[in-house]
Structure 1
Amino acid sequence: MRMWSRKNSLSGVKIRSDMDAREATVLRSLVESVVGLLRDREADAPTDELAAMTGLRTGHSSPPEDAALARLLPDFHRPDSGSDTSNLNGALRGLHEPEIIDDKLAASRVILDTIPTNGGKVVLTPAQADSWLMGLNDVRLALGTTLGIDADTPEVLDEGDPRAPHLDVYHWLTWMQDSLVQVLIP
């Protein structure tokens, strides 16, 4: 993949890059995996008679058990001390999680709609580029959590480490996201 570039045209600002077929396949697969996690969470949401009558959707009151999904949908409030905020987090999660999932799915849809199937040019509007940033961030969070990446993870893993090729993908996603941020900064 080439670094993102910014081009001004008569039709407005366009953000551009090129992606080869392998990169497009990897990115599509990762985004689809995140979409699957989010759709499963959405489908498993509790149903509520009041929500059905009012049209207001409610989400789960408890955090996801899956670590990657929990990273994508964290608690809303973390206490400073040992106080219990599970009721507060449950209420906030129930109110806001459906819309958060909608936003994450919308960002993923933009990526899936604009990735060239067999590689090639990627041309985005600034709004689409913002969606790419959101979606790439979600993919990085999910992959990083699955791989157990933290501040102590070395930049390069031993060849025998089964996470090594996945860490390379994580670094590629980081580079892609950073390159996109840099081109969006005026």
Structure 2
Amino acid sequence: MIVAGRDGGEGVRLVLETEEAMLLSELADQVDSVLLLGEVDDPALGRLLPNAYPDDVTAAQDFTRYTRDSLVDGKRQAAQQVRDATAVDDDTGLVQIELDQAEAWSWLTFLTDLRLILAERVGIVEEGSDESDETRDDYLRAAYEWAGFVQGSMLEVLDPIKG
């Protein structure tokens, strides 16, 4: 995977291997499934849509009633953008994706949501926590770390530190 600035400096260019693009598309399906079909008591859904008022049941219900649908809709749209961009029609080996700034930030939203779900699934409570190491699934852990690498690379391109 290669992440670089787009010509003109506005946005991001991603060059993915076909397998990476297919993985991102599959993971976007998984994020969408959690948002659509996730059980109310699913801790991963709780990480995506945390309780804004844990000490006030009425305020929490009101907040959920007024914001949940738009939050879920925005997260689903971000996942759909990733799915659309990573659709692989042929096996040429590489998939090149050009994202403008708005699209890139939407991808970052998706990558954040993905990492929250994966962190919950592998038991990462806090980055670098030793206690979660024993419960990690190797495939999910690798996906979590890879998504973090993609996210970090995109952020470096979008918001470089000026020195």
TM-score (norm: length of structure 2)? 0.84
Q: CA deviation at 1:76?
A: 1.1
Does residue 76 in structure 1 map to residue 26 in structure 2? Answer: no
Q: State the one-letter code of the partner of 1:177.
A: Q
**Deviation of the 1:64 alpha carbon:** 2.3
Counterpart contact for 2:108–2:151, Cα < 8 Å: yes
Residue ranges of structure 1 left out of the alignment (5+ in a row): 42-62, 79-83
Larger fraction in helix? 2
User: Are positions 1:64 and 2:63 aligned together?
Assistant: no
Out of 169, 175, 178, which is 2:143 matched to? 169
Choose 1 or 2 for highest CA Rg. 1
Q: Tell me, yes or no, if the aligned pair for 2:115 and 2:147 is still in contact at 8 Å.
A: yes
Post-superposition Cα deviations, 1:6-62, rounded to whole Å, max 9, x if no partner, equal 1234xx724112111211122111110111121236xxxxxxxxxxxxxxxxxxxxx
RMSD over aligned Cα atoms: 2.3
Give the length in aligned residue pairs.
Answer: 154
Unmatched segments (≥5 aa) in structure 2: none
> Which of 50, 59, 62 is the matching residue for 1:88?
59
Q: Normalised by the size of structure 1, how large is the TM-score?
A: 0.74
Contact 1:64/1:73 (<8 A) preserved: no
**How many Å separate the matches in 2 of 1:162 and 1:36?**
21
Question: Which of structures 1 and 2 has the larger relative contact order (alpha carbons within 8 angstroms, sep 6+)?
Answer: 2
Percent same amino acid at aligned positions? 27
* Matched-pair contact (CA < 8 Å) for 1:116–1:122: no
> Is 2:136 aligned against 1:139?
no
Moved more, 107-116 or 96-105: 107-116
Which amino acid counterpart does residue 98 of structure 2 have in structure 1? V
